Chain A
Amino acid sequence: MSLLLCRQEHVKRPYFMELMGVHLYSSQELSYVIFNHPALVLDDFVDERLLTFLREELDKGFLALKLERWLKSGENPDEALMIILQECDYYSMAEVGRFRQMAAALRKKHPADFMRTKADELFSLRQYGRAVEIYRKLLEYPESEQVDAQFMGRVLHNLGSCYARMFQLDKAFEAYENSYRKNQQDVVLEKLYDLSQIDERLVLGEELQDEITEKKQEIWKQRLKKAREKAKESRQVKELEGLFRQDTVKRQAGEAEQIYKWKTEYRNMA
């Protein structure tokens, strides 16, 4: 239990963390991103743009110089991240040690597995557009011991989920179909069924329909119904309903605000 004292950092031009779609305003935020999302920062994160941010905005010229020299020395570039964590004083030495182990574990992964971890990380951060790019690249990987049908099935499933969250339902349907062909998982089939119920243009092929027993269909139907009811009762829907009950002026202002919010959110994720 303690309070960390924050140094005064008067950042005028924040660092844009492209992969996450966020601006970073302090050394603590920078440390947090590095520590919590190692897969996103292991490759080419420490570059001239970051050094300029450290030097000019965070007033950490000495750290920037140290990193510059480290990168030129040809030593393990991952160590540059530990140097940042140590100098920014947000994590303890024990935590920096833990990060070193995490980074080493990631490096030991097969390149395809590492890429998938990165894409999964982006998916969890709702960066679906960026995750799609990586999943699609993974599909070009030649099959091997590590990159087998099961692996590809999972990649296709996650790709489908990305598309679904971006409301590109036809692409999602196609990805789930391909995923099902690879690993025949019920969870994927259920998603295909759900999509066909949500969008009538998406029709399950005969081959897939044969896989769905009446019992399964009944369970999934119930689940979808419950999900729809739950969505109806959600805070966001209630807020929207409330907005529509307001007078024209307030409603229009609220609509404009809501649409702007959705657009921004969508642009960020796609």
Chain B
Amino acid sequence: MDGLLVGVDLCDEYTHINCPEEEKLWTIPTVICRNKNADEWYVGEEAYAHTLMGDGIIVDKLLNLALRDGTATLGGVRYGGKELLLLFLERILKLPAREYQKEELGQLVIAVKRLDPKLSRMLRELVMRLGIAKEQVQIISHSEGFIYYTLSQKKEIWNNTVGMFDLSEVGLRYYEMKVQRGMKKVTVVAEYEDLEEGIDLNVLKKPSGGHLADRILTSCAERMMAHKAYSAVFLTGKGFLNQDWAAGLMKYLCSRRKVYIEQGVFARGAACRAQEGAKDNASFTCICDGRLKTTVSMNVLHRGQETNVTVAAAGDCWYDRVSVIDVIPDHQNSVDFIVTSLDSRKKKLISIPLEGFPKRPDRTTRVQIQVVFLDERTMEVTLRDRGFGELFPASNVQIRQEVML
């Protein structure tokens, strides 16, 4: 791939940008400023500078503004949140292009703190408005960025459980990642927990505040990490730019564990994901925020043989997964799904009866099965009567059912 590969960590407070195998990390506050007197736009620190000089009006929390379809009036003109975010993205994407003198974009991967369909759709739409093709863009969660970053390190770092604390202005989050080596494919599972013990980063500037924060975080670490074997622990986020206040935490973490302090983990992980290109998890199965934890399949008859057809596999992005399969029931009045859990390998059978479907001779009803996911744990199944051509015309009967996985 010749185009530029870019990983972006897009948050309301900051945006990090990284390119694969490059140390350089751009940290840009997620703000945009418009010149009061001209149609000129500035982003990040430059935006702050112009606001301080008094010749610009600034807008922050761009992601949130765009997501809730908010607006901001700058210089007497009302701008939509999406429009502002688009201007911001357009400008920040020029930074790596300029640095590495590559105008053409190969892959862009954007990591976000919490992945949901609306956010994913909005970001894809905005990026496409920048002239970037759909297949060149991936939207991933921070958890996935963490997985990709960790796996890009030496094996000894991830051969056991890997933990990570992310201390930012908006809170404290703990991530944990495990690599499970299966018979067929390696599965990597990452989970996170938003900890209630959020710390205002301003308190770290005072020794007493730092001391208190250290005690709080040490107790969090003891609670989260007790009785587990870790191969490495990462510390990331603005709160760990300086660790002078965290002597107690460092002492606890560094006993029999490797501890790494790294900024821009999610952007670096997104950059690693960009290297994989448009292919979806070719080398391992990734189970994390935004991806399915179970496999849904069906037993069907194909060329006289009973075959298992996967409707959605563990590791698939649930928010853009749409499966459509046509089947013809043969002496059967239901559609059965097999839900296989990744952790336990337990199988659950879910049967949806074809209630209300017209009575016809056997094998003359084509059933269209459409499966979408409302979240990681909820599958929505729609069964439609497609009839059998002009021989047995379709009715308007359809069954819609939500299934908890």
A and B found bound together: yes
Given A4-B301, A26-B389, A93-B304, A32 and B330 contact (CB-CB distance below 8 Å): no
**B389: contacting residue among A23, A90, A92, A93, CB under 8 A:** A23
0/1 interface trace, chain B 133-173, chain A, CB 8 Å (1 if under) = 00000000000000000000000000000000000000000
Chain B, 318-338, CB within 8 A of any chain A CB: 325-332, 335-336
Q: Verify A28–B306 contact, CB threshold 8 A.
A: no
B302 at the interface (CB under 8 A from A): yes
Q: Which residues of A contact B87 (CB under 8 A)?
A: none
A22 at the interface (CB under 8 A from B): yes
A22 and B390 CA atoms in complex are apart in Å by 6
Chain A, 79-123, CB within 8 A of any chain B CB: 89-90, 92-93
Given A22-B389, A22-B390, A3 and B303 contact (CB-CB distance below 8 Å): no
Q: Verify A2–B304 contact, CB threshold 8 A.
A: no
Q: Verify A3–B328 contact, CB threshold 8 A.
A: yes
Q: Verify B298–A32 contact, CB threshold 8 A.
A: no
Q: Verify B302–A5 contact, CB threshold 8 A.
A: yes
Q: Verify A3–B389 contact, CB threshold 8 A.
A: no
Chain B, 79-125, CB within 8 A of any chain A CB: none
A36 nearest CB neighbor, chain B only = B361
Q: Which residues of B contact A6 (CB under 8 A)?
A: 325-328, 366
Q: How many residues of A contact B (CB 8 A)?
A: 21
A93 nearest CB neighbor, chain B only = B304
A50 at the interface (CB under 8 A from B): no
Given A5-B325, A32-B364, A89 and B303 contact (CB-CB distance below 8 Å): yes
Q: Verify B389–A25 contact, CB threshold 8 A.
A: yes
Q: Verify B298–A3 contact, CB threshold 8 A.
A: yes
A28 and B361 CA atoms in complex are apart in Å by 14
A31 nearest CB neighbor, chain B only = B363
Q: Which residues of B contact A25 (CB under 8 A)?
A: 389-390
Q: How many residues of B contact A (CB 8 A)?
A: 28
**Chain A nearest Cβ from B392, distance in angstroms:** 9
Q: Verify A5–B307 contact, CB threshold 8 A.
A: yes
A159 and B303 CA atoms in complex are apart in Å by 43
A24 and B388 CA atoms in complex are apart in Å by 9
B1 at the interface (CB under 8 A from A): no
Q: Verify B389–A24 contact, CB threshold 8 A.
A: yes
Interface of A is mostly: mixed
Q: Verify A2–B309 contact, CB threshold 8 A.
A: no
Q: Which residues of B contact A24 (CB under 8 A)?
A: 389-390
Q: Verify A3–B330 contact, CB threshold 8 A.
A: yes
A4 and B299 CA atoms in complex are apart in Å by 9
A6 and B328 CA atoms in complex are apart in Å by 7
Q: Verify B389–A89 contact, CB threshold 8 A.
A: no
**Chain B nearest Cβ from A94, distance in angstroms:** 10
A213 at the interface (CB under 8 A from B): no
Q: Verify B306–A4 contact, CB threshold 8 A.
A: no
Q: Which residues of B contact A4 (CB under 8 A)?
A: 300-302, 327-330, 363
Q: Verify B326–A2 contact, CB threshold 8 A.
A: no
Q: Verify A89–B304 contact, CB threshold 8 A.
A: yes
Q: Which residues of B contact A26 (CB under 8 A)?
A: 366, 389
Interface centre among A3, A26, A29 (most CB of B within 10 A): A3
B391 at the interface (CB under 8 A from A): yes
Chain B, 226-264, CB within 8 A of any chain A CB: none
Q: Verify B332–A2 contact, CB threshold 8 A.
A: yes
A33 at the interface (CB under 8 A from B): yes
Q: Verify B391–A33 contact, CB threshold 8 A.
A: yes
A249 at the interface (CB under 8 A from B): no
Mark A residues whose CB is within 8 Å of B. 1-6, 8, 14, 22-26, 28-29, 32-33, 89-90, 92-93
Question: Can you report 21 residue pairs joining A to B where beta carbons are below 8 Å apart?
Answer: A2-B299, A2-B300, A3-B298, A3-B335, A3-B336, A3-B367, A4-B329, A5-B325, A6-B325, A6-B328, A8-B326, A14-B389, A24-B389, A25-B389, A28-B363, A28-B366, A29-B389, A29-B391, A89-B302, A90-B363, A92-B304
Instruction: Give 5 closest A-B pairs by Cβ, nearest first.
Output: A6-B326, A5-B300, A3-B327, A22-B390, A4-B328
Mark B residues whose CB is within 8 Å of A. 298-304, 306-307, 309, 325-332, 335-336, 363-364, 366-367, 388-391
